[in-house]
Structure 1
């Protein structure tokens, strides 16, 4: 009599370490994306703030700003948009911090910890979901920017690939900063504290930069800080790739090689703060 051996239906699939980590991270990312669709206010309010910045800076401050010796509001409008895009992706840090702090407070992180999941997958999944939300916000903001008159450079100097690369660098910076938000969210006790802690340090980072004004007109010591600011490197790179005015002429290496500087800064931030956040996560749930 023949014996038939059947594989139990509930038997887990064996994966390599990297494959398991990617799978678990995507599962968590999917969970967070589904949650976002059920709370549309999260996306709505995330879009409203940058749109307000575009309108206010364009129509309130545009006529009084000087870019490259020109006071034309249209020139400032094109100069401004790279800074607004960069500010938008970095301000998503506060949402990441608050979301992780909320999960910690509700005990959801402890539930994830009881499952056979890859180390760090909870945080990676969260940051990937936040990146997807930021990309949606960026798309809406780009449409609004086009409606108010923002344009990239001429077709001869700016291709679709270069524009896409500019947005790619902006999203990479935003992803890097969400790891800072993850560390903040794991370090505080309440979502309210995470929101404050996730945004307060962003103001000097975004305003001591070349995002809204020409950094060459700043006080020398402030200008040096702005030129070596990771945020400024990405803004400069975006302006170069978009073909927009206001590309600062400076001896500082990040301003001379903004694309490489942006990639390096974002990579360093991801490596350092991911390691710190995962370490904090393991200690907080250990």
Structure 2
């Protein structure tokens, strides 16, 4: 298996609250070139799980392997795109994309790679602009180009379109699908949007409330391109929403019980 998580658990320990179990017993296998989305209520550990695959968070238990090799730390084989683009405002667009390539390629090759991927995300004519001169959607496309320029085996995306308006988000959905087809990258995508997950993914993995666990794994067998008003898309949305409503109600009940303790 290309990417494999086995019996993975994560517990945070705080000085005041003691041990806090985020999730446990996570088993997840992802094939090469798959587009897999992770859904779940707030607090179930979606972003923490993605950070662990990126090597930014350690495992409390279990093991994680990419092409048979243990994942213990960050590496160029995994590219990360966050909800906020995390760009350097003192560098122009091309310099932002070439920044992580300095120790991987010659200056000429780094610039060529940057230009190739900026072209892929339709930002070639903005390569000399500073990032603060760009819209939010354009900044996120710079972040995607930067991650792809490193030629990772896996592209990790943590709610990359969550802060954007609906129109921009749908435009970037189409661009991401084109990029995925052209690059054949494996993508692990965290989102709160059921519609976004169904529209984009080969699989939608649903996590339950804390401690987080995988409660469903849907194979989305709908021809692409997919449209949000397609009956099959709507049907998958209804199935997943009915499952998530149960988990969300658990979270609300837990919070109300906590507040009423006083």
Answer 1 or 2: which has greater helix percent: 1
TM range (shorter): under 0.3
Under a length normalisation based on structure 2, what TM-score does the superposition of the two structures give? 0.26
TM-score by length of 1: 0.24
Bigger Rg over Cα: 1
